[in-house]
Structure 1
Amino acid sequence: MSFAGRLGAFAGLSLLAACATAPTGGPVPNLPPAQATHPMGLAGWAQEDHLAALKAYQAGCGADRTEPGKRTCAAARAMRAADPQSARHFFETRFVASPVEGTGLLTAYFAPEYPAKAQADAEFSAPVRPRPADLVKGQAYAERSTIEASPPNGALAWMRPEDLFFLQIQGSGYLTFPDGRRQRAGYAADNGRQFVGVARVMVQRGLLAPNQTSGDAIRDWLAANRGPSAQGVMNANPRYVFFNLLPDDHGDPPGAAGVPLPAGRSIAVDPSKHSYGELFWIDADNPTLQGAARDYRRLVVALDTGGAIKGPARADLYMGRGAAAGAEAGRVKHPLRMWRLTPVG
């Protein structure tokens, strides 16, 4: 489905407010440059949970289709009885680390869970729409405002309008029905329109204070102002995502690479700059962001993408499923430096 292939991993909730300015440049070659260094020199390397990182790499490395990547992946997957020491040795002997150009931005996203109904009512009035038959990939389709005003033909389910809006931002999630049934809402297609963060729009319109633009604040405002006012805000983002409903396998959703996303260990990247299955070290620090973790220093695998993820030093960290993952994801907006770990053999 491309869990993030949606709006762009559909970026974490922080992308409701703004997207980082993306550095420009051509694709980064999948070769160790002259400044490549040993992973042991990375800040925080000694404190890393190398065994957790190895498990994530084993799960996602099959997406790396380069010959060195295939060999290294096979070696990793052969380590069926690894421990922290052998996992660390694996990374230190099989990879070199090279810095990715520039300082960028780390955000985060998650797989949300929302209530839904099979039939519409006054509260659950937003249709979960399937992919339209006349949508052509690569061609711009109608904007959100036009789609919202059209008949809900073939609606898959019905949600609260603000919940559907956030589901579209995340690009995928899980629906719970009154009878206890659970289904995964998977990304089916989008209308090809550019994502616009609504937080800035709401501040400009005097609807929210500049320091009150969290995902929770935006959702609460939309819920309290359902109808034309909320719809006018949501229409400021012309991007619209269509879904299909799938059985809930109780696991994490697949990303653009077709691999289930390891929570806390997989990132969405710009595929014009990086390749799926590549291993990275992220170093993101924001000691002044209230309520957020001070830093994120860890090994991650590139397994997803998203329309708002642009530039080499730009990543969206997948946090997992549900409310707790969403709460953490909404607080991640950290300056980011990245290192690519390239197989040496």
Structure 2
Amino acid sequence: MYRRIRRAALVAVAAGSIAMANNAMADVRYEVLSFEKLDGWEDDDHAAALAVFRNTCQDMDDPDWRALCAYATSDPDPKSFFELLFRPILIDDGSEAMFTGYFEPELDGSLSPSPRYAHPVYAMPPEAKEISPWLTRQQILDGDAMTGRGLEIAWVDDPVELFFLQIQGSGRIRLPDGRSIRVGYAGANGQPYRSVGVELVRRGVYEPHQVSAQVIKNWVRRNPDDGARLLYHNPSYVFFREVSEVPADKGPLGAMNRSITTLRTVAVDPAFVPLGAPVWIEKDGKGPLRRLMIAQDTGSAIKGSQRADIFFGTGDRAGRAAGRLRDPGRMIVLMPIQRAFALLSEDG
């Protein structure tokens, strides 16, 4: 999602080249923990986690993971499955742990433009795939590069919500007749992602602890001219594709091209965590969370071994919960036994 799909990283990790052996990872440390050291492990719903693991493990090509996936489909005892076949690994790259949240937005829109529905949701133009970086957000929206090309998937009524749809990377668009279409990440313009929340803090408008998605939206709407310029501060622009074949009762597609699951899917940095791997989350702060999730997604802002984005579901309520989350804690990756000890050998 986001902003989100990184196919090259997915292929590399799924092939077993977890990128931990390269020189840039030389300072990363690995520690094998016992399951007794995982706070809250005994109380979690391991069956729910196993069901989510089975949803994407079939797409992991490495032999170690394929063998585990085959066994996962044989209806094992869920808790024993994880405890017998995995080892918890704490991966430390020296950065502080931070958990944030993301969600699937719902926007009001139409399949044809009108005075109300005036803001297009664009498919990716061919030249943006070939040239990186391509045009900036401002050049795309103020210029004529997209005009008359039939790249509009739909039109929505709120440019601010469209901006945040691009940050989330997927969403639903409610049509006037009650139907909905779903859009997912198709690519981006190759420009760097710059946080408008950080920019508001830099300008002295807010303190860091005050900034959330809702706060940013409200400020932009109260200050339409300055707000438009603020959104241009982020030159990154995301293009979409329609993915309405995903059933309405399923989550949006993540980086593994499978539906993700509310409060069981986490977005990670695939340079450290294999996509599809179980991940034990110990989120502190307000509303502590102790839960086994599955690393099924990525994000351009998700960098580091202890950085994770928790999927909160679809709609405004999920968006409010996700927008409030910015908490410390720790993340432990469950690795196949032989791979876990191989990492320790690499660590020296």
1:15 alignment partner in structure 2: none
User: In the alignment, is the contact (CA less than 8 A) between 2:3 and 2:166 conserved in 1?
Assistant: no
Is there any run of 5+ residues in structure 2 with no aligned partner, and where? 7-22, 339-348
User: In the alignment, is the contact (CA less than 8 A) between 1:5 and 1:304 conserved in 2?
Assistant: no
The yes-or-no answer on 1:306 pairing with 2:306 is: no
Q: Pick closer, same or farther for the CA change 1:205–1:186 going to 2, 3 Å.
A: same
Task: Find the partner of 2:65 among 61, 69, 76.
Answer: 69
2:254 alignment partner in structure 1: 255
The yes-or-no answer on 1:245 pairing with 2:242 is: yes
Q: Pick closer, same or farther for the CA change 1:223–1:122 going to 2, 3 Å.
A: farther
The yes-or-no answer on 1:325 pairing with 2:318 is: yes
Report the CA distance between 1:122 and its aligned residue.
Answer: 4.3
Larger RCO (alpha carbons 8 Å, 6+ apart): 1
* Partner-residue secondary structure (3-state), 2:57: helix
Count of residues in Structure 1 that have an aligned counterpart in Structure 2: 313
* Partner-residue secondary structure (3-state), 2:128: coil
2:212 alignment partner in structure 1: 214
Report the CA distance between 1:170 and its aligned residue.
Answer: 0.4
2:74 alignment partner in structure 1: 78
- Whole-angstrom distance in 2 between the partners of 1:283 and 1:176: 35
- Whole-angstrom distance in 1 between the partners of 2:162 and 2:293: 29
- Whole-angstrom distance in 2 between the partners of 1:88 and 1:27: 33
1:98 alignment partner in structure 2: 89
Farther-moved stretch of structure 1 (196-205 vs 49-58):
196-205
2:111 alignment partner in structure 1: 118
Q: Pick closer, same or farther for the CA change 1:213–1:165 going to 2, 3 Å.
A: same
* Partner-residue secondary structure (3-state), 1:134: helix
Give the counterpart letter for 2:132 in structure 1: Q
When the two structures are superposed, what TM-score results if normalisation uses the length of structure 2?
0.82
Is there any run of 5+ residues in structure 1 with no aligned partner, and where? 9-23, 288-292
Give the counterpart letter for 2:276 in structure 1: G
User: In the alignment, is the contact (CA less than 8 A) between 2:111 and 2:175 conserved in 1?
Assistant: yes
User: In the alignment, is the contact (CA less than 8 A) between 2:183 and 2:243 conserved in 1?
Assistant: yes
Flag as ranges the 4+ runs of structure 1 deviating above 6 A: none
Give the counterpart letter for 1:120 in structure 2: P
Report the CA distance between 1:188 and its aligned residue.
Answer: 1.4
1:161 alignment partner in structure 2: 159
2:50 alignment partner in structure 1: 54
Q: Which has the higher helix share?
A: 2
- Whole-angstrom distance in 2 between the partners of 1:176 and 1:78: 40
Compute the RMSD of aligned alpha carbons. 2.5
Q: Output aligned runs, 1:1-345, within 5 Å.
A: 3-6=1-4, 25-26=24-25, 35-79=31-75, 86-101=77-92, 102=94, 103-137=96-130, 139-151=132-144, 152-153=146-147, 154=150, 155-159=152-156, 160-205=158-203, 207-208=205-206, 211-226=209-224, 228-247=225-244, 249-250=247-248, 251-287=250-286, 293=287, 295-344=288-337
Report the CA distance between 1:172 and its aligned residue.
Answer: 0.8
User: In the alignment, is the contact (CA less than 8 A) between 2:282 and 2:330 conserved in 1?
Assistant: yes
